[in-house]
Structures are given as C-alpha cells and as structure tokens.
Amino acid sequence: MQKFVGTILVVIICLFCLSSSVQAQIEFKVLPGDMAVIGYRTDNHNFAIVCLREIPSGTNIRFTDKGWNHDETFRTDEGVIYWTTTEICELGMIKIINPLDYYVSGEFKLSTSGDQIFIYQELVADNPNFIFGLNTFDNVWQSSAGTATTSALPSDLKDSIPQSAIAIKHRTYSVYNGERGFNSINEAKLSIINTGNWTNITPQLPLPTGSFSFTTTAVHLSEFSAETGDESAPWWMIAGLVVIPVLMMVVKRPKRECCK
C-alpha cells in the first residue's frame, strides 16, 4: 500500500511540473480585431494603434509594411517592427508606434504612394496570426503584393466578424477621427473600419492619443476574455482526472482472505 501511495504522489508531482511547463510555453494569442491601426504618417513612419481587448504584459506583437501575396506568404524586403508589451495594454488604450523605439528587421518605411500595415503574431514559424490590416494604396485590397505598395487581404482578417481590416486612399497621412465612446467592442471595430470616420484634411491632424471608452459591460466582457481565453487547465484538475479513478479502483478492490 505504501508503494502504491508513493507512486500516486510521483504521478501528481510529474503532472504538476508538466502542466506548469506547458502553460509557461503557451504565448498569449491575440485574435483578429483585438488591436487596430487608427492612424499613420509617412513623414516619420509613425502610426497609432488601439487595444480592443486587454493584452497582457509580455505579449509579442509584430508590425510590418510587407504586402501579403496570393500564395499566402509575405512579400520579401521592407521591414518588421518587434514589440513586446512591457505592461498591460488596457481595453481602449492608444499607443503611438515609432520604429525608432523598437527593434526593426529590414526597413520599415511607409510610402506616400500607398502601403500597408499588418499587426500580427508569429506563434508558429512562418505562419502569421493576423490581428489587423490597413491598406493605404487604394479603397480596395489588391489580389496580391505585386509591388511594395500593394497587398492582398489575408483570409483570417477577411473572414473575421466584423472584418479586421480597412483600405483607404493613399495620402501622406490619415487618422481615425470618429467616435471614441462605445457600448460594445464590436461597435468600436465597426467604427474603425468605416472609411467615413477617417480624415486626411489639411492642416495635418496629429495621430490619435488618449484612449477609447467603453461601458462597464464591455469592459467586464473584455476582462473575462483576457482571463479565460488562453489558459490551460489547472494542474490539480489534470491530476484529479488521473488519480481519482485509480483510487476508486483501489477502494473497490476485493480484500484477499488472510486465512481459511
């Protein structure tokens, strides 16, 4: 019996270590529409983003001006900005991204003739997890990235509801200038991808700063999603699923007669 109990304890310890190790290696996955681009400038290549879900500290995000090809690969050349959140990006928080403040692979430069900005993660090598896309070449996305100024729309962004992308006419700058107070996150997403809420008038407006505001219900839903969306099962639950059936078998095991 002592040997059996010792075996059970070893199993529990192993399951705890395995669960902790796996959970530590699982990176927080940001879903399409959880972040959005809400403004850009071609003179200094800065752009503004807004978090439409609470993004935990330590989350790895990438931004690129590379176009997306019809064969589902990025166009070569151009650049990628690497951003690891050093604090929680609260729901509605706006952040200005300046390429000079981050590590950049290649050359990230927004063209006055049109370009694109994709927000994505690379949780699996060469398999981008797209979050949002902005196309500034024209009011429509192209079939492929035939030049540095064009891009196709990735299916993950196209198929998300609402669509997590916007295409606008190329200008030296453009900013979202719509409402900032919303009753739901979907309402904010729909407002951002409405081209009528973007402006590029003269004199040039600054990139958006501050934050979006949401009703209490929208905030609670975002917090619940952030807390439960990507967590693995607790170690004690995994251990219980293994240990409890074994213990029940032992309890129900018939006793041997010690004598006749």
233 vs 110, more confident:
110
Q: How many CB atoms lie within 10 A of CB 57?
A: 11
Three-state secondary-structure class, residue 185: helix
Residue length of the chain:
260
Residue 252 in this model has a pLDDT that exceeds 70:
no
Residue 186 in contact with residue 192, Cβ under 8 Å? no
Residue 2 in this model has a pLDDT that exceeds 90:
no
The predicted structure's pLDDT at residue 204? 85
Q: What digits encode the pLDDT tens for the residues 10-65? A: 445 444 444 444 343 468 999 999 999 999 999 999 999 999 999 999 999 999 99
Strand order in the sheet with 198-199: 94-97, 47-51, 35-41, 173-176, 198-199
The predicted structure's pLDDT at residue 66? 97
The predicted structure's pLDDT at residue 221? 57
The predicted structure's pLDDT at residue 126? 85
Residue 154 in contact with residue 133, Cβ under 8 Å? yes
Residue 8 CA to residue 2 CA, distance in Å, equals 10
- Of 5-19, 127-141, 191-205, least confident by mean pLDDT is 5-19
Over residues 167-176, the mean pLDDT reads: 93
60: β partners: 84
44 vs 254, more confident:
44
Q: What percent of the chain has pLDDT over 90?
A: 66
Q: What digits encode the pLDDT tens for the residues 198-219? A: 999 878 889 999 999 999 776 6
The predicted structure's pLDDT at residue 15? 46
Residue 136 CA to residue 121 CA, distance in Å, equals 21
Which structure tokens are listed for 46? 């800065």
| Arithmetic mean of pLDDT over the chain | 83
DSSP state letters, 152-176: PPPHHHHHSSS-SEEE----SEEEE
Residue 240 in this model has a pLDDT that exceeds 90:
no
The predicted structure's pLDDT at residue 27? 84
Q: How far from the centroid of its chain's Cα atoms is residue 130's Cα?
A: 7
Residue 149 in this model has a pLDDT that exceeds 90:
yes
Three-state secondary-structure class, residue 61: strand
244 vs 153, more confident:
153
121: β partners: 129
